[in-house]
Amino acid sequence: MDRELRTETSSRDELVELLQKEMKRIRDKLAEIKIQIDQTQLVVDREQVRNTDIATELRRVQDNIDTTPRQDIRAIYDDASEARFRLATMRGQLEKFQNSRDLLEQEAKLLSQVHSRIQGGVDTLVGDTGGLNPIPAGQSMSIVRIVQAQEEERQRLARQMHDGPAQSLTNFILQTEICQRWFDRNPARAAEELGSLKDMASVTFQKVRDFIFDLRPMMLDDLGVIPTTRRYVDAFREKNDIDVKLDILGEERRLESHREVMIFRAIQEQMVNARDYANATEIMIRLDLSGSRVKITVEDNGRGFDAEAVLMGDENYHDPRAQSLVTLKQRFELVGGSAAVFSGEEEGTNVRLELPTKD
């Protein structure tokens, strides 16, 4: 009994020490990000003043458009376009820093709660238990990582929105102003600019549709995980010139919504990893719904990694896929599933997942 007590105390002390180190790292990072926010805010303010000055100049040109040389008109519009782009870019950078700050503050708060609860022997993450079962310390760390992964995904989507549709809309405004100037003076040129604007709108519309699909495919709720996965695989194959094969086993059926989301996101995540980090040219996906546990296999022929080091949490081994794979494994294990990763530097990667169809 004494040995078990000493072991438990030792494990708790190690976890407390780990939490304290992580909290210090977050405090240092917060101090650094706050400096970056202040510096970026100064640049944004400066660019806003510049945009105001250029807007004043644009109004002057508009009032005298018939007497202003064409090259001067083009020059001022080029300056306006550049100024708007710089302002949008710096605002995006500021938003990125602010999102990072908010994420770190949330993480620091959560870790502080975990720390205080572990000091008391259990971890409930929030206030009084209110009848909830206490959460073991190891599982609480899993929850911390899942929260981190969710916030990182939100940041990624925010960057995609800023770099894609938001920037395109800024260009639309400028293009529309140019069309307005040409309507009376040169209808043919105005028609040409409108055609260009229509093409830009079509491209942006497709980007927005892709963005919405990545964010939350509506057909996942309406049709289920199998049709949604098929469509995603077809679109992924067409856009990335990667040979993707999808093999469905068992009877096609619907599962609970959260299970279908977990299955789809797991497949999507591994396909993106194979494209972005492994430079794969072939991806093989097998989805088996024939038994009481859904079995998912995603295999690629790209650059592999030390799977054992990643899953063991080796801090000396750095790979951009590490955090997502660790979080994926913990997500599945929290609902009674399992995850196994097989990979080597020259062997590609094979991710095998299992998920119970019912609680």
Q: What is the pLDDT of residues 146-162, one digit of tens each?
A: 555 566 666 666 666 66
Quote the CA–CA distance of 160 and 208 in Å, as a whole number: 10
Mean pLDDT across the stretch 118-129?
44
Q: Are 94 and 208 within one domain?
A: yes
Average pLDDT, the chain: 77
Reported confidence tier of residue 123, pLDDT bands at 50, 70, 90: very low
Q: Are 196 and 156 within one domain?
A: yes
> 310-324 pLDDT, tens per residue?
777 666 667 778 778
Q: Are 223 and 207 within one domain?
A: no
Q: Give the CATH number, domain containing residue 190.
A: 1.10.287
Last residue in a domain, options 188, 215, 242: 215
The pTM (predicted TM-score) of the whole model is 0.52
> 125-146 pLDDT, tens per residue?
333 333 334 445 455 555 555 5
Mean pLDDT across the stretch 327-336?
85
What pLDDT, on the 0 to 100 scale, is given for residue 188? 80
Q: Which domain holds residue 317?
A: 218-356
Q: Which DSSP symbol is given to 343?
A: E
Q: Are 168 and 311 within one domain?
A: no
Mean pLDDT across the stretch 331-351?
87
Q: Tell me: pLDDT of 340 over 70.
A: yes
3-class secondary structure, 9: helix
Domains in the chain, number: 2
- Render 192-251 in DSSP notation, one character per residue: HHHHHHHHHHHHHHHHHHHHHHHH--HHHHHT-HHHHHHHHHHHHHHHHT-EEEEEEES-
Q: Are 141 and 244 within one domain?
A: no
Q: Are 201 and 270 within one domain?
A: no
Q: Are 117 and 202 within one domain?
A: yes
Quote the CA–CA distance of 72 and 77 in Å, as a whole number: 9
What pLDDT, on the 0 to 100 scale, is given for residue 12? 66
Q: Are 170 and 207 within one domain?
A: yes
**Contact yes or no for 306/343 (Cβ under 8 A):** yes
What pLDDT, on the 0 to 100 scale, is given for residue 58? 78
Mean pLDDT across the stretch 255-275?
90
Last residue in a domain, options 215, 240, 269: 215
What pLDDT, on the 0 to 100 scale, is given for residue 208? 75
Which residue is it, tokens 């279908």? Answer: 260
> 209-234 pLDDT, tens per residue?
776 766 667 778 788 899 999 999 99
Q: Are 43 and 86 within one domain?
A: yes
